[in-house]
Amino acid sequence: MPDIEVIPHYDKMLGWLPDRVASFIVRIGAESTLIGIDENTALINDDIWRVVGVGKVHILRGALEISQN
């Protein structure tokens, strides 16, 4: 999966990484994606993508954020 960056423990680390997220959004290309996976949460692919656990998966493309739980 090209042009994807994953941040684990996204809900806990976002407060520590605002510059990283902001710089990613500024330099992102149309094909690039940031996936933030909350603590105690997994993103699993077994023919379809599933979010398992208590948190959410955050998918950011440019200024657009899509949260799945």
DSSP 63: T
From the number of C-beta atoms within 10 Å of its C-beta (0-12, 13-18, 19+), residue 17 rates as: middle
Range of the domain at 55: 4-68
Q: What's residue 61's pLDDT? A: 75
Specify the number of domains making up the chain. Answer: 1
pTM for this prediction: 0.71
What tokens were used for 18?
A: 């605002």
pLDDT in tens, 6-44: 888 888 876 666 566 666 665 656 667 888 899 999 999
